[in-house]
Amino acid sequence: MIAVASDHGGLELKQAICELLKKRTLDFCDMGTHDGSSVDYPDFGIKVATAVAAGECLSGILICGTGIGMSIAANKVNGIRAALVHDSFTAQMAKEHNNANVLVLGGRVLGVAEGCRLVEVWLDSQFEGGRHQGRLDKIQQIENDQK
């Protein structure tokens, strides 16, 4: 199950991504926002991040205007590796090297077609493990040390 959410700045791209996930017959949960009225991105970032951190969803996709606010908010949750990506290289690396469990996109930065393409690259890439796992373990240790 993939958790998906956006604010008003990412609504159009979110709708296109939901269509893409439907086409790929992937299970997803659209956690809002559902119309174009102005909302606060942290309210939606936290929904997706907590669902992923709790194991209710395997991964998440978040979209706001730039992607910056959503990535800051989601990365506050322990266990979340939210990656803001801008092109196919960063989308691929976000999975291969960082095993990003939340993909973040800027709806006012990317066109709908490009945003959907980056989702496909991230979905189709595989975490490489090895030395990268050791680095992720160090990030998790930083989070554990904050408790």
Shortest approach of ligand RB5 to residue 144 CB, angstroms?
28
The least distance separating ligand RB5 from the CB of residue 43, rounded to whole angstroms, comes to 12
Residue 64 is a catalytic residue = yes
| 9 sits near ligand RB5 (criterion: CB under 6 A) | yes
Question: Minimum CB separation from ligand RB5 for residue 22, in Å?
Answer: 24
Cα→Cα distances 120→5, 114, 117, Å: 17, 10, 5
| 60 lines the binding site for ligand RB5 (CB under 6 A) | no
User: Is residue 34 annotated as part of the catalytic site, yes or no?
Assistant: no
Taking CB under 6 A as the rule, does residue 65 contact ligand RB5?
yes
Residue 115 interacting with ligand RB5 (CB under 6 A): no
| Helix, strand, coil percent content, the chain, rounded in steps of 5 | 50, 15, 35
Helical ranges in 2-147 per DSSP H: 11-23, 41-53, 68-74, 88-96, 112-124, 131-146
Given a contact cutoff of 8 angstroms between Cβ atoms, the answer to whether 59 and 3 are in contact is: yes
Nearest Cα to Cα of residue 49 among 77, 25, 23, 22: 77
Q: Does the protein bind ligand RB5 through residue 44 (CB under 6 A)?
A: no
Question: With respect to ligand RB5, which residue has the nearer C-beta, 69 or 115?
Answer: 69
Q: Which residues are catalytic?
A: 64, 97
